[in-house]
Chain A
Amino acid sequence: MSRNGTLLLASVMLLVVLVATGCPRAAEPVEPPAAAEPQPGGTLTHLHNASPDNLDPQGTVMAVSWWVFSRMVDTLVTRDHDLGIAPHLAESWEMSKDGLTWTFRLQRGIRFHDGTPFNAESAAFSFNRFAEVARVGILAQLKETVVVDEYTIEMRLTAAAPRFLDDLASHYAGLISPAAVEKYGADFGIAGMVGTGPFKFHEFIPGDRVTLVRNEEYAWGPPIVENPGPAHLERIELLVIPEDMTRVMEFEDRAARGYAVTLTLAPPADVRRLRADPAVQTITRTTTGADILFINTTKWPFDDIRMREALIYAINTQPIVDLLLEGVAVQAHTFISPSQIGYPDAAGPTPAIQRPVDPQRARELFAEAGWLPGPDGILVHQGTGKRAEFGFLTPTGYVGEPEAIVAQLRDLGLDIRMTVLEPAASVAKAREGVYELYLIGYGWPDVSLGFDLFHTRQIGGLNFSFLSDPQVDEQINTALTNLDPEVRAAAWNAAHVRIVQLAPFVPMWYDMLFTFASKAVGGMELVGAHPLWASDIHALDLHYIPGK
């Protein structure tokens, strides 16, 4: 190629790169949100990285499916601002003394989107179908639901369930139309989904988009919302954009054009940028869960509690949170999160009971367990002569945190061999118990799942530390079944203290969850005010602000 040709090509390439990277679109001035009365109309577009699998509340466990179907269904009871239980489609209820029977009196004058009246018959159908087919792990004790009269149902349980009302407040237990279930058959949740909620099913193209339209007849919003119905927004659509950069670009483009658009699950670098952008509204929440480093308590040498305690003293999550996760996570001090329902009871008056970071103490514990530094600095077991080489499994998706942990442990003489697998494969491998260490995060609205992580019944399931302790199991069982709130609180706390004593995990961090919205989305402050981020309820209060 001639020199001129080379220069021409190089110039064109440089121009493209400069245009692409060096000349960001100027930020447009943004006025503060108007305080005017919300006007009906407009479409809210939510950009998400995954597609709902199915919109049948009883046929899915995916969070993104919940995001959609929770706008189409109502529940018998709901949560108030203090996380207490408030009536919704049920006017009132009572529990039998043995806790095995619950009687609910239902609201009148409510109709499903297809015109089917909401009454005891349709409610009984919903719950009996739930007991038969539901995938989500709630209402496990529900045996059957029977019709008492046109607006009264009786729900019978196999065992007392103190969290029964909490489970009923979940939109997975939302009421669905019997006529629609019959009409759509196996395609219910894909070809159509019918509830009593503020939005109606319009279109679902799995993997691409979902569109809901306003239920014009809706007038029975829960007491927590300002607008009982119909919703201000005319449409809500969810667009599936799997690639992070594309999703963020699409959000910023739509926001700049004045569309009502929201975004979750942005990459950390974009989170920092979007939070600082005055043209974007941000709602921040700490995740209802935690990232945890599980230690396999059955695998030598970590069947020795001193080795597990040494890891807790050795790993310092502060620099990881400060440098790698700056602004998108906070340090965790235990396996449950302050954002979870039930945390104050479970954590007790002194929640920060984990040991402080102390590398010297870690070295002492390694030495006590018979591990001393070899010629290359790696610890060697004095009894067997084995080097401290251990397997560490993590799922894809972390951005350097596992490497930081490996480096910290290397400084203390542990040779950690890291394996990265995509999430489903990593869970399957962790269950086999081959690796000594496994890093993963979980999320659940209340503390129960956090405790399940250490229950014997979850070995082969979610108990990745393979901890099996009768005291822990007994306290968890009590906390899950006893009807006395004080006994339950004491049991949660006792289980928590015992688990921490046994050191089967190292607490890592609590992720921060961000929802970003364009200025054209009104009512976000109401969503932000709710402790559980109940955007399902507040879809009634969301509205479109033209010209923003």
Chain B
Amino acid sequence: MHTLLARRLASMVPIVLGVTIAVFAVLHLAPGCPTTIMLGDHASPEAIEELRNKLGLDDPLYVQYFRWLSGVARGDFGRSIHTRQLVLEMVLQRVPATMELTFAAMILSLVIAVPVGVISATKQYSVVDHATMAGALFGVSMPVFWQGLMGMLVFGFLLGWLPISGRGGLEHLILPAITLGTSQAGLIARLTRSSMLEVIRQDYITTARSKGLAERVVIAKHALKNALIPVVTILALQLPALFGGAVITETVFAWPGMGRLIVTSIFVRDFPVVQAVTLIMAMVVILCNLLADVSYIFLDPRIRYDS
């Protein structure tokens, strides 16, 4: 176990470095320079060149990269080229909003999807099964953008039940969380169903039933725990996807999180901010993968990585 953790954590270093190098190269190779955006329409080529020089943007790419990297190693992510705010401060300001949204979406999707998947599996080929799986397909297929706008239009604008945009109390969280969680819920519901179908055909479930246990107990205590192993895997792997989905959801709902930050920063070529957010995202993806691996040990005692 400890070896696994140490090995996986050590493997993070080259992966994260690789990601940052790739993002750094792509950003700098894309046309468009932040100084032009910063100085506006009236700037002369000389003024643009002077600012490029001042910001060190005319240095060779590897020099710029190692300058950034050495800063990060010292915990200094630099200042935003666009706003001049400290990058770390900018990112930390946005992290709570994104965490709040993604975790709300994940919890919502679990609360809806797992019972739906279980009911669907236990009532296979019934009307309920067909309806819920069609709903799950609809959830997976619906574009987040469209779904967000529709939710906003119906529940925010026409009915006036929920706020249309922005971050505030719990009522502000409902629409964005549903929007972000819907496709996740569809995926998990379908996965839970297929996993449950597989498990409830196993011999030990038949044994449990033959012992005279109530069906509720068989499903909840014996089947569900085993059926959830692939679900947990997908859940952990989908967390980064949720962060990705948050980019669109945050834009639609004017939710001040990291997704919106990275979109805005890409448009204005705010390299330090994009680099910092990418670094965090890469680490989240790797940690989520690790979390998925570790969770197997607790869910299935037969799995032993050390051996």
Give A residues with C-beta under 8 Å from B: 1-2, 4-6, 8-9, 13, 16, 19-20, 23-25, 51, 53-54, 59, 61-62, 135-138, 186-187, 189-190, 205-208, 239-243, 245-247, 249-250, 252-253, 421-429, 442-444, 449, 452, 457-462
- Counting chain A CB atoms within 10 Å of each CB, the highest count among B41, B48, B156, B269 belongs to B41
Q: How far is the CA of A424 from the CA of B254 in the complex (A)?
A: 23
Q: Is the CB of B166 within 8 A of A239?
A: yes
B153 within 8 A of A: yes
Of the candidates B36, B133, B154, which one forms a contact with A16 in the assembled complex, judged by CB atoms under 8 Å apart? B154
The reply to whether B127 and A137 contact each other, CB–CB distance below 8 Å, is: no
Contact status B42-A424, CB under 8 Å: no
A358 to B284 alpha-carbon distance, docked (Å): 61
Verify if B38 is at the interface (C-beta below 8 Å from A): yes
Contact with A along B123-159 (1 / 0, CB 8 A): 0000100110111001000000000011011101110
B157 x A252 contact (CB < 8 A): yes
Inter-chain contact B157/A135, CB cutoff 8 Å = no
Chain A, residue nearest B34 (CB) = A424
Residue pair A4, B127 in contact (C-beta under 8 Å): yes
Q: Which residues of A contact B261 (CB under 8 A)?
A: 207
Collect the chain B residues with CB atoms within 8 Å of residue A189's CB.
84
Residues from chain A with Cβ under 8 Å of B160 in the complex: 253
Q: Is the CB of B40 within 8 A of A61?
A: yes
Name the distance in Å between A481's Cβ and chain B's nearest Cβ. Answer: 15
Known interface pairs A136-B42, A246-B253; A186-B84 also in contact (CB < 8 Å): yes
Q: How far is the CB of A68 from chain B (nearest CB, A)?
A: 13
Chain A residue contacts of B134, Cβ below 8 A: 1, 5-6, 9
Most buried by B among A5, A9, A241: A5
Residue pair B256, A137 in contact (C-beta under 8 Å): no
Complex Cα distance, B33 from A457, in Å, reads 19
Are A249's CB and B39's CB within 8 A?
A: no
Residue of A nearest to B158 (CB): A25
Q: Within 8 Å CB of B93, what residues of A?
A: 205-206
B40 A424 Cβ-Cβ under 8 A: no
Task: Name the CB-closest residue of B to A62.
Answer: B40
Contact A19 B158 (CB under 8 A): yes
Task: Please state if A137 and B130 are interface contacts (CB–CB under 8 Å).
Answer: no
Query: Which residues of the partner chain B approach A246 to less than 8 Å between Cβ atoms?
Result: 149, 152, 164-165, 252-254
Q: Is B268 an interface residue (CB 8 A)?
A: yes
Contact call B251/A243, Cβ cutoff below 8 A: yes
Is the CB of B193 closer than 8 A to any CB of chain A? no
Given contacts A54-B84, A462-B41, contact A421 B31 (CB under 8 A): yes
Q: How far is the CA of A428 from the CA of B85 in the complex (A)?
A: 25
B190 within 8 A of A: no
- Give 27 pairs: A residue, B residue, CB < 8 Å, sorted on A: A1-B133, A2-B127, A2-B130, A9-B135, A13-B138, A20-B158, A25-B158, A54-B84, A61-B43, A135-B40, A136-B42, A137-B44, A187-B86, A206-B85, A206-B93, A207-B256, A241-B166, A249-B164, A249-B165, A422-B32, A422-B267, A424-B31, A425-B30, A426-B31, A442-B41, A457-B45, A458-B44
Q: Could you tell me the distance in whole angstroms from the C-beta of A1 to the nearest C-beta in chain B?
A: 4
Take A2-B127, A9-B131, A206-B83 as given contacts and tell me if A428 and B41 are in contact as well, using a CB distance cutoff of 8 Å: no
Q: Is the CB of B253 within 8 A of A424?
A: no
**Which residue of A is nearest B159, CB measured?**
A19
From known contacts A424-B267, A425-B30, A428-B31, infer whether A23 and B158 are also in contact, taking CB-CB under 8 Å.
Answer: yes
For chain B, the bracket of interface size reads 35 or more
Is the pair A243, B31 in contact by a Cβ cutoff of 8 Å? Answer: no
Residues of A contacting B44 with CB < 8 Å? Answer: 137, 457-458, 461
B172 contacts the other chain (CB 8 A): no
Is there a chain A Cβ closer than 8 Å to B205's Cβ?
no
Mask, B72-106, CB within 8 Å of A = 1, is 00000001001111100010011000000000000
- Flag if B154 contacts A51 (CB, 8 Å): no
**Contact B84–A424 (Cβ < 8 Å):** no
A2 to B30, CA, bound (A): 52
Determine if B83 and A137 form an interchain contact, defined as CB atoms under 8 angstroms apart: no
A138 CA / B37 CA spacing, docked (Å): 16
Interface pair B39/A5, CB less than 8 Å apart: no
**How long is the Cα–Cα vector from A284 to B30 in the complex, in angstroms?**
37
Is B264 on the interface with A (CB-CB < 8 A)? yes
Is B33's CB under 8 angstroms from A241's CB?
A: no
Enumerate chain B residues within 8 angstroms of A19, measured Cβ to Cβ.
154, 158
Kindly report which residue of chain A lies nearest to residue B126, judged by CB atoms: A2
Besides A61-B43, A249-B157, A424-B268, 18 more A-B contacts (Cβ < 8 Å) are A1-B133, A2-B127, A5-B130, A16-B150, A19-B154, A136-B42, A206-B85, A207-B256, A241-B166, A246-B165, A250-B165, A252-B157, A424-B31, A424-B37, A425-B31, A428-B32, A428-B33, A462-B41
Instruction: A194 to B219: give the CA distance in the assembly, Å.
Output: 65
Is the CB–CB distance between B164 and A20 below 8 Å?
no
Q: Are B42 and A449 in contact (CB-based, < 8 A)?
A: yes
Instruction: Assess whether B39 is in contact with A20, with CB atoms less than 8 Å apart.
Output: no
CB distance from A265 to the nearest CB of B (A): 14
Chain B's closest residue to A243 (CB) is B252
- Inter-chain contacts of B127 with A (CB < 8 A): 2, 4-5
A340 to B23, CA, bound (A): 42
Contact call A425/B32, Cβ cutoff below 8 A: yes
Collect the chain A residues with CB atoms within 8 Å of residue B157's CB. 25, 249, 252-253
Q: Taking the nearest CB of chain B, how far is it from the CB of A139, in angstroms?
A: 12
Q: How far is the CA of A458 from the CA of B39 in the complex (A)?
A: 14
Residues of B within 8 A of A135 (CB): 38-40, 51
Chain A: which residue is nearest B40 at the CB level?
A: A61
B253: which A residues are within 8 A, CB to CB? Answer: 246
Query: In the bound complex, what is the Cα–Cα distance between A172 and B135 (angstroms)?
Result: 55
Chain A residue with the shortest CB-CB distance to B257: A207
Knowing A9-B131, A53-B82, A206-B85, the reply to whether A449 touches B41 (Cβ < 8 A) is yes
Q: Which residue of A lies closest to B256 (CB)?
A: A208
* Cβ contacts under 8 Å, A459 to chain B: 45
CB–CB A190/B154 < 8 A: no
Complex CA–CA separation, A445 to B251 (angstroms): 31
Residues of A within 8 A of B150 (CB): 16, 20
Q: Mark B247-263, 1 if CB is under 8 A from A, else 0.
A: 00001111010001101
Q: Knowing A54-B83, A208-B256, A428-B31 touch, does A443 contact B41 (C-beta < 8 A)? A: yes
